[in-house]
Copies of this chain bind each other. A is one copy, B any other.
Amino acid sequence: MVVAKKYVLVKAFDGFPNNDNIEFQEETLLPLKDGEVLFEALFLSVDPYMRLFPIAVGSVMIGEQVSKVVESRHSDYAVGSLHVAKFGWRSHTVVHPKDLQGQIQHLPDMEGLSPSLGLGAVGMPGQTAYHALLDYGQLKEGDTVVVTAAAGAVGSVIGQIARIKNCTTIGFAGTEAKVAWLKELGYTHAFNYKTCNLGEVLTAAAPNGANVYIDHVGGDMATEIINNHMAVFGRAVIVGSISAYNATTPQKLPGLFHGILMKQLTIRGFMHPSFSAAENAASNKDVIHWIKEGRLAAREHVTKGFENMREAFYGLFKGENIGKAIIEV
């Protein structure tokens, strides 16, 4: 008899998430029926989108995990095989895979890299970085690229892909340790947005403006960059809007319309599910190649223990993670 651990949303988010919102619970799983599979989480992901997307009160917190088959009554799911699955914040999960179409994918061939990267650079965040920059951002050789939350799971990959594509890269993060790491990654310029003068450093680092801006923060910072530091025909891709997720009153910001018009900008909202499995496989292939060549560092911020998952999640909104935040069970 397996007892699954899980986290349930018991009170809708309002402001910063805390333990009043998310409750630890246990659940005794029933023996497998024909066609069912028992999975055990090895690594779980915490991501800002878990604060953004609506989750029904009483539901398990949403999310992905790298999960191993520990018992199987389904011929496609061999015991010991690894999967990336959208089971939410659960240690153990019994499912009939046909009930979760597209939610359980075989872990890509990692070519010897850690399976946990299937939640990061070789998973949703890495694919997001790749498609936001190359497809929506229409990156061209020699472009100047600005990235906020540059030391995060997505931002750190963006800066490195842009560097590989011979672009000038300008990253913003919120601690000196992150800024130091961005420089190690090869960001051309890296700044602590909490202590720098945004306008001054961008005027100096991007005198002709940014061709591509990958936004994770929204709010005043994104407004300043879009209104005052884009090149003509610049592309801004909105990948996150973390400054607004925990805001309890709507923001009022300087308008964007005049700048969009005068510089003929394109601003586009990005959601990972709009890309196909084939497109994501193409991203994975390139990213694995770059990691193995030593050109792309896939740093992880690992929290050990399923019991610490909530704190790891809250930490995202305090800027605690450098690289991809992962829970190792």
Contacts and interface: CB of A to CB of B under 8 A. Distances in A.
A252 B254 contact: yes
A274 B261 CA distance: 12
Contacts of A260: 238, 267-269
Nearest to A266: B268
* Main DSSP-derived SS at the A contact region: mixed
Copy number in the complex reads: 2
A222 interface: yes
A219 B267 contact: no
A262 interface: yes
B267 A266 contact: yes
A245 to B, nearest CB: 9
B274 A269 contact: no
A244 B264 CA distance: 16
A82 B256 CA distance: 40
A253 interface: yes
Interface in A206-248: 215, 218-219, 222-223, 238-241, 244
A240 B219 CA distance: 24
A318 interface: no
A241 B260 CA distance: 10
A218 B258 contact: yes
A250 interface: yes
Contacts of A219: 255, 257
A50 B263 CA distance: 17
A70 B320 CA distance: 75
A114 interface: no
Contact of A258 (B239, B241, B266): B241
B254 A251 contact: yes
Given A252-B252, A255-B219, A257-B219, A270 B266 contact: no
Contacts of A244: 255, 257-258
A219 B254 CA distance: 10
Residue among A244, A259, A263, A267 with max Cβ neighbours from chain B (10 Å):
A267
Contacts of A268: 260, 264-267
Interface of A: 52, 215, 218-219, 222-223, 238-241, 244, 250-271, 274
A-B CB proximity, top 7 nearest: A218-B257, A260-B269, A261-B269, A264-B269, A267-B267, A251-B255, A252-B252
